[in-house]
Amino acid sequence: MDDIAFPQDGTSETPQDGGAYRVLARKYRPKTFEDLVGQEPMVQTLENAFETGRIAQAWMLTGVRGVGKTTTARILARGLNYEVPGQTDKPTVKLEHEGVHCRAIMEGRHVDVIEMDAASHTGIGDIREIIDASRYRPASARYKVYIIDEVHMLSNAAFNGLLKTLEEPPEHVKFIFATTEIRKVPITVLSRCQRFDLRRIDQAKLTGLLRRISDAESIQISDEALLMIARAGEGSARDSLSLLDQAMAHGAGAIEADDLRQMLGLADRARVIDLFEHIMHGRVAEALDELSGQYEVGADPAVVLTDLADFTHLVTRMKIAPRAADEGSVTEVERVRGQAFAETLSIRLLSRAWQILLKGLQEVQAAPKPLSAADMVLVRLAYAADLPDPGEALLKLQQGGPVQGAGAQSAPPGGPPPQGGPSAQTDAGPKLKAIAGGASRVQPAAQGVPEHEPLRAVAQAEPEPPALILRSLQDCAALASEKRDIPMKVAIERQMRLVKIEQGRIEIQPTPDAPADIAGEFGRKLTDWTGTRWMVSISQTPGRPTIHEEREANQAQLLSDAKSHPTVAALLAHFPGAKVIDVQVKTSEDEDPALADPLLSEALGEDDSDDV
CATH number of the domain that 486 lies in?
A: 3.30.300
Given a contact cutoff of 8 angstroms between Cβ atoms, the answer to whether 88 and 99 are in contact is yes
Question: Do 374 and 402 fall within a single domain?
Answer: no
Last residue of a domain, one of 385, 403, 428: 385
- Say if residue 42's pLDDT is above 50: yes
DSSP letter string, 354-415 = HHHHHHHHHHHHH-SSHHHHHHHHHHHHHHHHHSPPHHHHHHHHHHTPPP--SSBSSSPTTS
Q: Is residue 257 part of a domain?
A: no
Q: What is the 3-state secondary structure (H, E, C) of 471-507?
A: CCHHHHHHHHHHCCCHHHHHHHHHCEEEEEEECCEEE
User: Among the listed ranges 132-141, 324-333, 363-372, 428-437, which one has the minimum average pLDDT value?
Assistant: 428-437
Q: Is residue 351 part of a domain?
A: yes
Given a contact cutoff of 8 angstroms between Cβ atoms, the answer to whether 178 and 42 are in contact is no
User: What is the average per-residue pLDDT within 496-524?
Assistant: 87
Q: Which of these, 483, 477, 288, 460, lies nearest to 381 by C-alpha position?
A: 288
What is the DSSP-derived secondary structure letter of residue 609?
A: -
Given a contact cutoff of 8 angstroms between Cβ atoms, the answer to whether 189 and 166 are in contact is yes
Which domain does 400 fall in, by range?
A: 387-461
Q: Is residue 8 part of a domain?
A: no
Question: Do 90 and 180 fall within a single domain?
Answer: yes
Last residue of a domain, one of 197, 218, 244: 197
Question: Do 477 and 436 fall within a single domain?
Answer: no
- Strands, sheet with 535-538, edge to edge from the N-terminal-most edge strand: 496-502, 505-510, 535-538
Question: Do 107 and 73 fall within a single domain?
Answer: yes
- Residue 389 has what pLDDT? 61
What average pLDDT does the structure give for the chain?
78
Cβ-Cβ contacts under 8 Å for 45 (sequence gap 6 or more): 196
User: What is the average per-residue pLDDT within 467-472?
Assistant: 78
Question: Do 394 and 360 fall within a single domain?
Answer: no
User: What is the average per-residue pLDDT within 267-275?
Assistant: 80
CATH label of the domain that carries residue 365: 1.20.272.10
Which one is predicted more confidently, 562 or 280? 280
Secondary structure (3-state) at 163: helix
User: Among the listed ranges 256-270, 438-452, 480-494, which one has the minimum average pLDDT value?
Assistant: 438-452
pLDDT band at 14 (very low <50, low <70, confident <90, very high): very low
Highest mean pLDDT among 405-419, 518-532, 568-582: 518-532
Question: Do 51 and 129 fall within a single domain?
Answer: yes
- Residue 233 has what pLDDT? 81
Instruction: Please give the Cα distance from 523 to 470 (Å, whole number).
Output: 13
- Say if residue 186's pLDDT is above 90: yes
How many separate domains does the chain show?
5
- Say if residue 64's pLDDT is above 90: no
Question: Do 375 and 446 fall within a single domain?
Answer: no
Q: Is residue 467 part of a domain?
A: no
- Residue 328 has what pLDDT? 65
Which one is predicted more confidently, 300 or 385? 300
Given a contact cutoff of 8 angstroms between Cβ atoms, the answer to whether 580 and 563 are in contact is yes
Q: Which of these, 494, 495, 500, lies nearest to 472 by C-alpha position?
A: 500
- Residue 391 has what pLDDT? 62
- Say if residue 413's pLDDT is above 70: no
pLDDT band at 387 (very low <50, low <70, confident <90, very high): low
Question: Do 350 and 487 fall within a single domain?
Answer: no
Question: Do 442 and 580 fall within a single domain?
Answer: no
pLDDT band at 587 (very low <50, low <70, confident <90, very high): low
Which one is predicted more confidently, 595 or 106? 106
Instruction: Please give the Cα distance from 549 to 13 (Å, whole number).
Output: 90
- Residue 132 has what pLDDT? 92
Rounded-to-10 torsion of CA 268, 273, 277, 279: 70
Instruction: Please give the Cα distance from 611 to 518 (Å, whole number).
Output: 41
Q: Which of these, 574, 576, 595, lies nearest to 584 by C-alpha position?
A: 595
pLDDT band at 593 (very low <50, low <70, confident <90, very high): very low
Last residue of a domain, one of 151, 168, 197: 197
Q: Is residue 519 part of a domain?
A: yes
- Say if residue 432's pLDDT is above 50: no
Q: Is residue 238 part of a domain?
A: no
User: What is the average per-residue pLDDT within 124-135?
Assistant: 92
Instruction: Please give the Cα distance from 470 to 504 (Å, whole number).
Output: 9
Question: Do 301 and 375 fall within a single domain?
Answer: yes
- Residue 388 has what pLDDT? 63
User: What is the average per-residue pLDDT within 465-477?
Assistant: 78
- Residue 607 has what pLDDT? 44
- Residue 237 has what pLDDT? 87
Q: Which of these, 272, 218, 213, lies nearest to 23 by C-alpha position?
A: 213
CATH label of the domain that carries residue 84: 3.40.50.300
Q: Which parts of 250-372 are beta strand (E)?
A: 254-255
Q: Which of these, 109, 87, 108, lies nearest to 98 by C-alpha position?
A: 87
Question: Do 381 and 393 fall within a single domain?
Answer: no
Give pTM, 2 decimals: 0.53
- What percent of the residues of the chain are helix, what percent strand, and what percent coil, each to the nearest 5? 50, 10, 40
Q: Is residue 214 part of a domain?
A: no
- Say if residue 67's pLDDT is above 90: no
Q: Which of these, 177, 189, 173, 195, lies nearest to 80 by C-alpha position?
A: 173
Q: Is residue 298 part of a domain?
A: yes
- Residue 66 has what pLDDT? 85
Angle value at C-alpha 476, between 472 and 479, nearest 5 degrees: 140
Q: Do the strands 173-179 and 58-62 form a parallel or antiparallel pair, or are they unpaired?
A: parallel
User: What is the average per-residue pLDDT within 99-116?
Assistant: 90
Question: Do 539 and 572 fall within a single domain?
Answer: no
User: Among the listed ranges 65-69, 239-243, 411-415, 466-470, which one has the minimum average pLDDT value?
Assistant: 411-415
